[in-house]
Structure 1
Amino acid sequence: MGQRWCDLAFLHWAVPPERVRAWMPPGVRPDVVVGPDGEERTYVALVPFRLVGAGVGRGPAVPWLGTFWETNVRLYSVDATGRRGVVFASLDASRLGVVLGARAAFGLPYRWARLRGHERVRDGARELLWTGTTRWPAPRGARSRVAVRVGEPIADDAPDADLAAFLTARWGLHTAHLGRTWHVPNEHGTWSLRRAEVLELDDELLGAAGFGDLARRPPDHVAFAGGTTVRFGLPGSAQAPRR
């Protein structure tokens, strides 16, 4: 399946690994980094963006249905074979057909939502706003409003460059479905990451996933990417860890 992800904001909050362990499918554990204090931490992310031109296999993009807005709450994972990925606590999309298909095919926690995006240029900088309200399944009426101002590129030698790569250079997802844990690989170009300033954050999607306290404080790391082309591969089993 091919598609393009456009204008992504990455809002990240650092949490102890124990905070997200219950979300990990069997055979998968939280992926961690060691902070300056020597403690392991992982991250919870809120990621609004626009998905463009999704198609099946190597076929053409599906008209209308293949382009939509999405906002996800994602966590960071690694399986017993060392494959890094993400685990989705929630995914909200503005196309009901996409929601139904992804829930059936992969067991992903998609919801149908009213989602919109807006953009303006002020003082030479892009400012983007994403808004949304969940529709189905429950919880219905959870709202999200995120606005960012796009800044300078994140240089390869910047102090947070390694962390930015850890958070965005992800080549698959882990999901539990039909009694097994699956790894769904993807390939995409290198992100051209830029810094971003949060102008507005009024979000209930984090709370719906069990992380409501995070939305009440500023993110620990924020980045923006203009977009990249993505292609998903066939799912494979994620090996359960040995005990």
Structure 2
Amino acid sequence: MDCLNHTSHRPWPLVDSRPSWKQYWLDLAFFHWPVRKAQIQATLPDGLEVDTYDGDAWISVVPFRMEGVMMRGLPSIPGVSNFPELNLRTYVKRDDKPGVWFYSLDADQSLAVWAARKFFHLPYFKANMSSVANADGSIHYRSSRECSGASFDGVYQPVGETCKAERGSLEEWLCERYCLYACSKSGKLYRGEVHHRQWPLQKVQYQIDKNGIGEAFGFDLSGAPYCAQFAKKLEVAVWGVELC
């Protein structure tokens, strides 16, 4: 994996073991809203602390497509390795190691939902989803969760040149995250490492017509996001989760 040859931007060194999974993230949009710190902390499991930027906690909605998702060393499987995914996430830390906490992850691939729940303890849900690239370069993204109807419907399009987030900026703080946290049904806390190059970010134009995936957690995200970014493609290495 080429991304493993580019590590100088990481906030901590790569783990010694080889990554377990490989994948690509494509046509990804970040939509971010500031939220009160206390509101986020009340939703987190014991052992996790809400992370803040200038005193604010943040919630992000992230629609994108996954491609080539497979255990490292094995070929991708048509119909299994490629699928849309929609994340609702916030930003946390444990032992001062910053990472991401997922409230929900929607996917339209049943095997991916089952595997992520079983092996990564992540709250994946099966959803009816589509990510359609239009002739003008925009992406029309729709998702409706099968178990609850929680939905997202929006169109977004990159504009301007690709760039990297400035060091110390809000964009860097939100996007450059290299681990995730998860909690098992028994309450055990896990950490999983990820790696990729620095995000190739662009500005993004968007229209969000429906955004209800935060409602189950008490988050009203119906208003316009405070900021947003787009990334066309990123190669990602993923390690298995470990108790922390």
Q: TM-score range by the shorter chain?
A: 0.7 to 0.9
> CA offsets per residue over residues 140-169 of structure 1, 9 Å max, x none?
x222102112112365587x9711111110
The alignment status of 1:152 with 2:172, answered yes or no, reads: no
The answer to whether the Cα contact below 8 Å between 2:164 and 2:201 also exists between their aligned partners in 1 is: no
| Amino acid across the alignment from 1:144 | F
**Which of 82, 85, 98 matches 1:67?**
82
Structure-1 residue corresponding to 2:171: 164
Structure-2 residue corresponding to 1:27: 47
| Amino acid across the alignment from 2:156 | V
What is the rounded CA distance, in whole Å, between the counterparts of 2:27 and 2:129 in structure 1? Answer: 14
Deviation at 1:87, TM superposition (A): 0.5
| Amino acid across the alignment from 2:43 | W
Deviation at 1:11, TM superposition (A): 0.3
Q: Gaps (5+ residues) in structure 1?
A: 35-39, 239-243
| Amino acid across the alignment from 1:110 | Y
What is the rounded CA distance, in whole Å, between the counterparts of 2:226 and 2:53 in structure 1? Answer: 14
Structure-2 residue corresponding to 1:205: 213
What is the rounded CA distance, in whole Å, between the counterparts of 1:111 and 1:101 in structure 2? Answer: 11
Query: Structure 1 52/95 Cα, relative in aligned 2: closer, same or farther at 3 Å?
Result: same
Moved more, 13-22 or 1-10: 13-22
Q: Gaps (5+ residues) in structure 2?
A: 1-20
**Which of 68, 85, 90 matches 2:104?**
90
> CA offsets per residue over residues 3-29 of structure 1, 9 Å max, x none?
101110000001111111133232211
SS of the residue 1:167 aligns to: helix
The answer to whether the Cα contact below 8 Å between 2:64 and 2:84 also exists between their aligned partners in 1 is: yes
> CA offsets per residue over residues 56-114 of structure 1, 9 Å max, x none?
1332223321110010101111111x221111111100001111111122221111001
Structure-1 residue corresponding to 2:144: 133
The answer to whether the Cα contact below 8 Å between 1:6 and 1:225 also exists between their aligned partners in 2 is: yes
What is the rounded CA distance, in whole Å, between the counterparts of 2:157 and 2:208 in structure 1? Answer: 10
The alignment status of 1:47 with 2:62, answered yes or no, reads: yes
What is the rounded CA distance, in whole Å, between the counterparts of 2:156 and 2:165 in structure 1? Answer: 24
Deviation at 1:51, TM superposition (A): 0.2
> CA offsets per residue over residues 181-214 of structure 1, 9 Å max, x none?
1110011111110111222331111223321x22
Moved more, 86-95 or 196-205: 196-205
The alignment status of 1:17 with 2:48, answered yes or no, reads: no
The number of residues matched between the two structures is 223
Deviation at 1:232, TM superposition (A): 0.9
Moved more, 171-180 or 218-227: 171-180
The answer to whether the Cα contact below 8 Å between 2:130 and 2:141 also exists between their aligned partners in 1 is: yes
Structure-1 residue corresponding to 2:228: 222
SS of the residue 1:208 aligns to: helix
| Amino acid across the alignment from 1:59 | L
The answer to whether the Cα contact below 8 Å between 1:23 and 1:89 also exists between their aligned partners in 2 is: no
What is the rounded CA distance, in whole Å, between the counterparts of 1:235 and 1:114 in structure 2? Answer: 27
Say what the alpha-carbon RMSD is for the aligned residues.
1.9
**Which of 214, 219, 237 matches 2:243?**
237
What is the rounded CA distance, in whole Å, between the counterparts of 1:210 and 1:66 in structure 2? Answer: 32
The structure 1 segments of at least 4 consecutive aligned residues displaced by more than 4 Å after TM superposition are 154-158
| Amino acid across the alignment from 1:12 | H
Query: Structure 1 175/156 Cα, relative in aligned 2: closer, same or farther at 3 Å?
Result: closer
Query: Structure 1 70/156 Cα, relative in aligned 2: closer, same or farther at 3 Å?
Result: closer
